């Protein structure tokens, strides 16, 4: 095995708060260990185009609190092909890189997996996605901030819902997972939460809304995960209106959940995992992901991320229903 002297890192897929904190940790931990670091711009696209820059300690000054990613990010169809991967492989060899850290979500981890398996490039994945759907880490970088952002939206809408006696349906991101919806919904004390992991009985939701109305309740909030099988927030709102004729407004929070300064939890998670990824490469590990499980750093084969379904804690949903007034 060739001694690791120079590594590369990239951010790939959807951006999320905490990526810069992770980049900073990788660069500075590497400098501490005497490694050279190359940053690749625009994810795997930059790897195929050799869009690389040397990164030293001062190149990551003043970024720990910034959202987005200074390396920029992208999704690439070409990189899914052998032709694209061969280009990346050639560039990695030309740059004399002995290890690659990939910070991103599920799609990015697939890229890292193939570079290791088919092209013999040591790769380590760091889970970063607001969706929080990567198994092997209790929390993924960006999730905590996205929940806080969604919660801020819910709190503000609560003011208007109360003032106008309305039912609001708020749609949050999460792709096919309901983590953001469940956490933000529970923290916001909303009346109901629609998540893809659970089939929601619309008649029961309407029955509860009616029951609340009879008790004198004048406004309500329902949070819907974008991937819910009952449909999007507009469709669900339409169905509820048809059944019980409420005045309804729909808010789709969308991409504002992806930006913003990372909360402390995300900064610390990103810092610990970035540093752990460098340790992992130095130990000669490859084709792995790093994660935080019960506050301990763990490594797993990278495919664990998609071969294992990350379970959502449905007792939180039950609790939200018990406590909804």
The residues that touch ligand F6P, with contacts defined as CB under 6 A, are 14, 105, 129-131, 173-175, 226, 258
Shortest separation between residue 142's beta carbon and ligand F6P, angstroms? 8
Tokens 């905590």 correspond to 144
Which CB, 107 or 287, lies closer to ligand F6P?
Answer: 107
Minimal CA–CA distance to 181: which of 167, 170, 165, 166? 170
Rounded distance between C-alpha atoms, residue 302 and residue 289, angstroms:
5
Shortest separation between residue 228's beta carbon and ligand F6P, angstroms? 12
Shortest separation between residue 317's beta carbon and ligand F6P, angstroms? 19
Rounded distance between C-alpha atoms, residue 277 and residue 208, angstroms:
48
Which CB, 42 or 258, lies closer to ligand F6P?
Answer: 258
Q: What are phi and psi of 154, to 5 degrees?
A: -60, -45
- Check 90, 96, 106, 131 and give the catalytic one: 131
Which CB, 105 or 122, lies closer to ligand F6P?
Answer: 105
Which CB, 174 or 291, lies closer to ligand F6P?
Answer: 174
Rounded distance between C-alpha atoms, residue 167 and residue 195, angstroms:
18
CB burial of 23-35 (b: ≥16 within 10 Å; e: otherwise) equals: bbbbbbbbbeeeb
Shortest separation between residue 291's beta carbon and ligand F6P, angstroms? 17
Which CB, 174 or 287, lies closer to ligand F6P?
Answer: 174
3-class SS of residue 261: coil
Shortest separation between residue 69's beta carbon and ligand F6P, angstroms? 13
Going 134 to 139 to 140 to 145, the CA torsion angle's sign is: positive
DSSP 141: B
Rounded distance between C-alpha atoms, residue 193 and residue 316, angstroms:
11
Shortest separation between residue 80's beta carbon and ligand F6P, angstroms? 16
| Annotated catalytic residue 201 | no
Tokens 């998670």 correspond to 269
Shortest separation between residue 180's beta carbon and ligand F6P, angstroms? 8
Strand partners for 6: 36
Which CB, 46 or 122, lies closer to ligand F6P?
Answer: 46
Rounded distance between C-alpha atoms, residue 52 and residue 268, angstroms:
27
Minimal CA–CA distance to 42: which of 83, 7, 70? 70
Between helices 106-119 and 82-94, what is the axis angle to 10°?
70
Which CB, 7 or 173, lies closer to ligand F6P?
Answer: 173
**Which stretch of DSSP H or E encloses residue 252?**
strand 248-252
- Give the residue nearest to ligand F6P (CB): 173
Rounded distance between C-alpha atoms, residue 325 and residue 321, angstroms:
9
Rounded distance between C-alpha atoms, residue 47 and residue 39, angstroms:
10
Residue 146 and residue 17 in contact, taking contact as beta carbons nearer than 8 Å = yes
Catalytic residue numbers, as ranges: 131
């Amino acid at each position: 095995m060739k001694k690791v002297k120079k590594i590369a890192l990239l951010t790939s897929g959807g951006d999320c708060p905490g990526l810069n904190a992770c980049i900073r940790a990788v660069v500075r931990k590497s400098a501490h260990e005497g490694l050279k670091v190359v940053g690749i711009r625009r994810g795997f696209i930059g790897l195929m185009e050799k869009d690389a820059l040397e990164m030293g300690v001062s190149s990551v000054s003043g970024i720990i609190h910034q959202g987005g990613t200074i390396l920029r990010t992208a999704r690439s169809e070409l990189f899914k092909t052998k032709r694209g991967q061969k280009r990346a492989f050639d560039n990695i060899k030309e740059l004399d890189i002995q290890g690659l850290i990939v910070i991103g979500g599920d799609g990015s981890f697939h890229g890292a997996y193939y570079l290791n398996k088919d092209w013999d490039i040591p790769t380590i994945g760091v889970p970063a996605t607001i969706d929080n759907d990567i198994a092997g880490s209790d929390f993924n970088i960006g999730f905590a901030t996205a929940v806080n952002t969604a919660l801020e939206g819910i709190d503000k809408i609560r003011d208007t819902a109360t003032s106008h006696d309305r039912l609001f349906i708020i749609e949050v991101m999460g792709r096919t997972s309901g983590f953001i919806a469940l956490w933000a919904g529970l923290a916001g004390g909303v009346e109901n939460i629609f998540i893809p992991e659970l089939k929601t009985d619309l008649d029961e939701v309407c029955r509860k809304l009616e029951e609340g109305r009879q008790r004198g309740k004048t406004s309500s909030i329902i949070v819907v995960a974008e991937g819910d099988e009952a449909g999007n927030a507009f469709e669900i709102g339409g169905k509820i209106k048809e059944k019980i004729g409420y005045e309804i407004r729909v808010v789709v929070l969308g991409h504002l959940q992806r930006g913003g300064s990372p909360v402390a939890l995300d900064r610390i998670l990103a810092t610990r995992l970035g540093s752990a990824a460098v340790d992992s490469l130095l130990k000669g590990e490859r084709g792995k992901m790093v994660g935080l499980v019960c506050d301990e750093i763990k490594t797993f084969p990278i495919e664990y991320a998609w071969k294992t379904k990350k379970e959502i804690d449905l007792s939180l949903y039950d609790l939200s229903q018990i406590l909804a007034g």
